[in-house]
Amino acid sequence: MSNTEEPLIAQKGPFRIELLATYRYAWCACGMSKMQPFCDGSHTGSKAGIKPVIWVQDRDATVLLCGCKRTGKQPFCDSTHKTL
């Protein structure tokens, strides 16, 4: 990923979110969404090279979704924010 495609840091820490089984989610990977940590389509345009991570949740769970957008385990937090 080039510097022009570096995601914005939405927050320097994870978002604690309750996810529901069978729901389809779209995690914001660019950091521009106003509905963090979820995508609102803001990546269209200047950050068009960074697409959201879309998945269907397999079970009800409380998870930590990445807020710094630098995780190696997208969309989940891997504590990368601690090194920023």
Q: What is the pLDDT of residue 34?
A: 96
Q: What is the pLDDT of residue 4?
A: 55
Quick check: bond before 75 cis, omega within 30? yes
pLDDT per position in the chain (84 positions), as tens? Answer: 444 578 999 999 999 999 999 999 999 999 999 999 999 998 877 655 899 999 999 999 999 999 999 999 999 999 999 999
Q: What is the pLDDT of residue 70?
A: 96
The strand pair at 15-19 and 61-65 is best described as antiparallel
Number of domains into which the chain is organized: 1
Residues with Cβ within 8 Å of residue 43, at least 6 apart in sequence: 28, 29, 30, 32, 33, 50, 51, 52
Residues with Cβ within 8 Å of residue 3, at least 6 apart in sequence: none
The whole domain housing 75 covers: 1-84
Q: Which amino acid is at 29?
A: A
Q: What is the pLDDT of residue 1?
A: 42
